A = this chain, B = another copy of it.
Amino acid sequence: MDPLNTPVRLRGHATWLLGQASTQGHRLIGERMHAAGVTSRSYYSLLVALAESGPTSQADLGRRIGLDRSDVTAVVTDLEERGCLERTPDPADRRRNLVKITDSGAKFLAELDKEVVAAQAALLEPLSPEERDVLLGMLGRIVEHHTGLRVSGTEER
């Protein structure tokens, strides 16, 4: 695109700016993810959710990261083939699969995490540390307002 001639009226809209900024962020993350051998951002989300709360069902994982059950199946299958997680039938509830992260998976997640953190820094580069906090706080409030999500950093009393 020709950045210098973007219509003025568009550039002032929050939705447009958010979309552009989000695209840049996804681009930065996508590049680094791809270099680490992963095509989709869902892989990272799922591993994070898995590491944060022990063995769970696939449906639960999907609900937590906002991924459809069907898509969870694909990601889990792929990550299982890579040895990043184990998928075993839950003896207590035979509908479920108990998904557990492996040591190899944890190492892989650490790799991805480094890339993701680096991408954040690259994206926010033009902002000072204080400004970054302000930005994250405001974005958190917006997301919280529209989704009911309790974003961290809101417990200031």
Interface on A for B, CB 8 Å cutoff? Answer: 1-15, 17-22, 24-26, 28-29, 45, 48-49, 52-53, 62-67, 113, 116, 119-120, 123-127, 131-132, 134-136, 138-153
Q: How far apart are the CA atoms of A48 and B143 in the complex, in Å?
A: 28
A-B contact pairs, 15 of them (CB 8 A): A2-B63, A2-B64, A4-B149, A7-B45, A7-B48, A11-B140, A12-B153, A15-B28, A15-B123, A24-B142, A24-B147, A126-B145, A127-B141, A131-B138, A135-B135
Please give the distance in Å from A54's CB to the nearest CB on chain B.
13
A136/B24 in contact, CB under 8 A: no
A11/B152 in contact, CB under 8 A: yes
